[in-house]
């Protein structure tokens, strides 16, 4: 366990100095997964044989003193909406319960090229729709800090497995906050890069104009390293950016004197818990101590982001999920008289209630006669929200806010109230609408010892400043060393 508490950077050193072997490390990770998975509900499936094979390759290369990619040998997990050839991709849905991927996502190939052992596929809200991981068709994920609380969603399994040191790193997808929210609830770093930075080829699409893949880790530096391994142009994803990713880790530790930090006013008002506000204020004071300049920033249209998101995201989801028809993928209902009955029964039996709600909402928003009133209006507002960010970044280098107005809530406390659940994403959604990079990092704990996350946002393509600013704060606060006692 002590071994697994280490960061990827520390493990990188230990592997090079031969204090441990990659095989030992992967086996330690397997043992820990076997010990905790039933309690935490983290994994949908495991890919242990392949992980061991990769670890052995790393050890052979170390023995031969061959060059190795930085993260070679570091135990990692994939959210179960990313394809890994020959293993299941279920999206935590009954409709894909037995679907085996015929190919690997670009992200998976990149992990393999970097000789990163992939331990398995993590639990999520069905098709990544949710904020608490309670929408999984299989089982709930529990928060490693308190088993009665949610881990956040939709990448709950990816966040909990890193928080509980079952794996060192994992990948999530973020459409409206699904990396940042669970990172915040589980006391780790979760980083959503600029839209288009990381290929989504082989990620099961939810809302294609918003989806982005990114890392979970214990520290900012680990996330920077994983980002460097996975980012970059991919001709297989038409939204992938053909731009240099740049060298992020070598400039990470630069001091931030003179950095202009904007505090988003609207997210520090009523609705945000006192404990969360206090932790943010402490982060602000720490930034001042580090020589940064604090500026109040108003994003007046932010309050509309949830409304806009639930039109755009559901419209795109209704179209993306049309492919699950009983013919092309996964589950097909039995005993149907004709094609229409087969479609209807398959989808009625295969999708869970939240997914059905989104499909209906999205189909309605796109239907003729309503398109202009809803979808077109939402797109116009989306542009205005994005413009607010552009204006803000003329005045500041980064923006900060709580990742969520509260810490992790109790299991079953919001599951029957979709609107209340949707409101947990008030701080995160706008970065997806605007395409900006954003991350959540641990900055403290509330009175019940639950982690509090700070959201840091930078302008599009400026991952470098985002990570520098976050790293400086992380090192000064020192909260990142705290781990749940599980």
Query: What beta strand segments (E) does 175-314 contain?
Result: 189-192, 212-217, 260-264, 293-297
User: In terms of CB distance, is 40 or 313 closer to ligand GLN?
Assistant: 313
- Active-site pick, 6, 79, 149, 218: 79
**Of 61, 112, 69, 68, nearest in space to 87 by CA:** 112
* Residue from the set 128, 169, 315, 439 that interacts with ligand GLN by CB under 6 A: 128
Residue 80 in the binding site for ligand GLN (CB under 6 A): no
Shortest separation between residue 162's beta carbon and ligand GLN, angstroms = 17
Could you give the string, one character per residue 251-290, with x where binding to ligand GLN holds by CB under 6 A and - elsewhere? ----------------------------------------
Residue 131 in the binding site for ligand GLN (CB under 6 A): yes
Burial of 377 (0-12, 13-18, 19+ CB in 10 A): middle
Classified as helix, coil or strand, 218 is coil
**Residue list 187-206, contact with ligand GLN (CB under 6 A):** 206
User: In terms of CB distance, is 109 or 126 closer to ligand GLN?
Assistant: 126
Could you give the string, one character per residue 412-431, with x where binding to ligand GLN holds by CB under 6 A and - elsewhere? -------------x------
**Residue list 146-185, contact with ligand GLN (CB under 6 A):** 154, 174-178
Structure tokens at 228: 């460097």
Please spell the DSSP secondary structure of 73-98, one letter per residue: T--EEEETTB--TTSB--TT-GGGTT
N residues, the chain: 486
Residue 215 in the binding site for ligand GLN (CB under 6 A): no
**Of 155, 174, 47, 121, nearest in space to 430 by CA:** 174
User: In terms of CB distance, is 130 or 202 closer to ligand GLN?
Assistant: 130
Residue 313 in the binding site for ligand GLN (CB under 6 A): yes
Residue 240 in the binding site for ligand GLN (CB under 6 A): no
Q: Catalytic residue at 121?
A: no
Contacts of 245 by beta carbon, 8 Å cutoff, 6+ apart: 197, 227, 228, 231, 232, 463
User: In terms of CB distance, is 185 or 206 closer to ligand GLN?
Assistant: 206
User: In terms of CB distance, is 177 or 350 closer to ligand GLN?
Assistant: 177
Whether the CB-CB separation of 229 and 114 falls below 8 Å is answered with yes
Q: Catalytic residue at 64?
A: no
Token pair 């607010």 in the structure block, residue: 388
| Helix, strand, coil fractions of the chain, as percent rounded to 5 | 45, 15, 40
Q: Catalytic residue at 223?
A: no
Q: Which residues are catalytic?
A: 79, 154, 178
What are the residues binding ligand GLN (CB under 6 A)?
128-131, 154, 174-178, 206, 313, 425
């Amino acid at each position: 366990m002590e071994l697994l508490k280490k960061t990827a950077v520390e493990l990188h050193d230990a592997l090079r100095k031969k204090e441990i072997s990659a095989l030992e490390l992967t086996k330690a990770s397997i043992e820990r997964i076997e010990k905790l998975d039933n309690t935490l509900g983290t994994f949908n499936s495991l890919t242990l044989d392949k992980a061991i094979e990769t670890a052995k390759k790393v050890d052979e290369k170390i023995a031969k003193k061959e060059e190795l990619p930085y993260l070679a040998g570091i135990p990692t997990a994939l959210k179960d909406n990313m394809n890994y050839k020959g293993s299941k991709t279920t999206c935590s849905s009954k409709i894909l319960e037995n679907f085996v991927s015929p190919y690997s996502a670009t992200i998976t190939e990149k992990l393999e090229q970097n000789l990163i052992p992939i331990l398995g596929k993590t639990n999520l809200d069905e098709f990544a729709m949710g904020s608490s991981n309670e929408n999984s068709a299989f089982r709930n994920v529990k928060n490693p800090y308190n088993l009665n609380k949610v881990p956040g969603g939709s990448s709950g399994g990816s966040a909990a497995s890193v928080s509980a040191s079952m794996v060192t790193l994992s990948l999530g997808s973020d459409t409206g906050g699904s990396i940042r929210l669970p990172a915040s609830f589980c006391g780790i770093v979760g980083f959503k890069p600029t839209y288009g930075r990381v290929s989504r080829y082989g990620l099961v699409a939810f809302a294609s104009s918003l989806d982005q893949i990114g890392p979970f880790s214990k520290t900012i530096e680990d996330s920077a390293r994983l980002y460097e391994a996975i980012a970059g142009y991919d001709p297989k994803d038409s939204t992938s950016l053909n731009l240099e990713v740049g060298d992020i880790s070598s400039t990470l530790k630069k001091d931030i004197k003179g950095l202009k930090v904007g505090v988003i006013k609207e997210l520090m008002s009523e609705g945000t818990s006192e404990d969360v506000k206090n932790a943010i204020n402490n982060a602000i004071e720490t930034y001042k101590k580090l020589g940064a300049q604090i500026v109040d920033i108003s994003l007046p249209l932010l309050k509309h982001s949830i409304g806009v998101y639930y039109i755009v995201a559901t419209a795109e989801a209704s179209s993306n999920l049309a492919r699950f028809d009983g013919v092309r993928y996964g589950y097909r209902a039995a005993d149907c008289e004709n094609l229409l009955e087969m479609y209807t029964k398959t989808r009625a039996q295969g999708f869970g209630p939240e997914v059905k709600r989104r499909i209906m909402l999205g189909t309605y928003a796109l239907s003729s006669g309503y398109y202009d009133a809803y979808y077109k209006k939402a797109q116009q507002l989306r542009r205005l929200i994005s413009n607010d960010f552009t204006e803000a970044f003329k005045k500041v280098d980064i923006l900060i806010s709580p990742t969520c107005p509260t810490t992790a809530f109790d299991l079953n406390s919001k599951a029957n109230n979709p609107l209340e659940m949707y409101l947990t994403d008030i701080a995160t959604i706008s970065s997806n609408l605007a395409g900006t990079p954003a991350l959540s990092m641990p900055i403290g704990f509330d009175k019940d010892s639950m982690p509090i996350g700070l959201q840091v946002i930078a302008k599009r393509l400026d991952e470098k400043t985002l990570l520098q600013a976050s790293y400086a704060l992380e090192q000064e606060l020192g909260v990142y060393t705290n781990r749940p006692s599980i």
